[in-house]
Amino acid sequence: MKKVYSNAAEALDGLLHDGMFIAAGGFGLCGIPELLLQAIKESGVKDLTFASNNAGVDDFGIGILLQTRQVKKMISSYVGENAEFMRQYLSGELELEFNPQGTLAERMRAGGAGIPGFYTRTGVGTVIAEGKEHKEFGGETYIMERGIVADLSIVKAWKADTTGNAIFRKTARNFNVPAATCGRVCVMEVEEIVEPGELDPDHIHLPGIYVHRLIQGEHEKRIEQRTVRQREEA
């Protein structure tokens, strides 16, 4: 089975359609599938629903799809760095389903594991719990959350072999692994592709069975918020 494609547009060929549900990896601007997001933008598909920890910034990450009005709904934990996101949400142009961060990660993991729903105490007594089933366990109230199964997963890894076995570096590991597993199809971009056997099996974070297509590319190393100290005069 061929898994390695020459570029993002080729890897997404035949997978995109209007109204689809996409799970995207990454945390802030760390480990986001930037090449695949750019290809989605250039494809012109619209009315998309994204499950992603955040929506990038105004000109990077999912933010570029907000600029072109290709996103209909976001399922997210943190959206505080994107002014266009805020504008569209407050004006009623964008639907938003807030999820506590751990709940969102578990919803993706559960969907990838074939678990349709689970109970959690997180969100009990808040707007998060409205309309959800409540159940008592050990004298405590829990709410039921549903697992996420997306039409497509897009993720970014540091290194992978040609069969899709992947390693993520540091913070980039967080949402990429659960996001990769919960899509019916997973497309992954990596910084380096190697031959099978070159990766230590004990270091694999994502088995290749979850990955259907992958590409290698050059990636921009952005800093979401740069804070510097004023230089002291000698």
Do residues 69 and 45 lie in contact, with contact meaning Cβ atoms separated by under 8 Å?
no
How many residues does this entry show for the chain?
A: 234
Per the model's pLDDT, the better-predicted residue between 216 and 232 turns out to be 216
Nearest to 183 by CA among 9, 22, 2, 33: 22
Beta strands 117-120 and 140-146 are antiparallel
Contacts of 189 (CB under 8 A, 6+ apart): 8, 11, 33, 34, 35, 36, 154, 155, 156, 157, 214, 215, 216, 217, 219
Residue 82 has pLDDT above 90, yes or no: no
Distance CA 56, CA 62 (A): 5
Fill in the DSSP letter of residue 170: G
Distance CA 227, CA 178 (A): 31
Nearest to 168 by CA among 183, 142, 189: 189
Rounded to 5 degrees, φ, ψ at 81 are -105, 10
Rounded to 5 degrees, φ, ψ at 72 are -95, -35
Do residues 52 and 58 lie in contact, with contact meaning Cβ atoms separated by under 8 Å?
no
Enumerate the domain spans of the chain. Answer: 8-118+128-216
Do residues 32 and 6 lie in contact, with contact meaning Cβ atoms separated by under 8 Å?
no
Beta strands 152-161 and 140-146 are unpaired
Q: Is 100 helix (H, G, I), strand (E, B) or coil?
A: coil
The whole-number pLDDT of residue 60 equals 87
Do residues 107 and 183 lie in contact, with contact meaning Cβ atoms separated by under 8 Å?
no
- Over residues 2-53, the pLDDT tens digits come to 999 999 999 999 999 999 999 999 987 889 999 999 999 999 999 999 999 9
Distance CA 61, CA 72 (A): 16
Distance CA 84, CA 62 (A): 11
- Over residues 161-186, the pLDDT tens digits come to 999 999 999 888 889 999 999 999 99
Q: In the structure, what pLDDT confidence band is assigned to residue 222 with cuts at 50, 70 and 90?
A: low
Residue 225 has pLDDT above 80, yes or no: no
Q: What percent of the chain has pLDDT over 90?
A: 78
Distance CA 158, CA 166 (A): 7
Task: Return the CATH fold of 8-118+128-216.
Answer: Glutaconate Coenzyme A-transferase (3.40.1080)
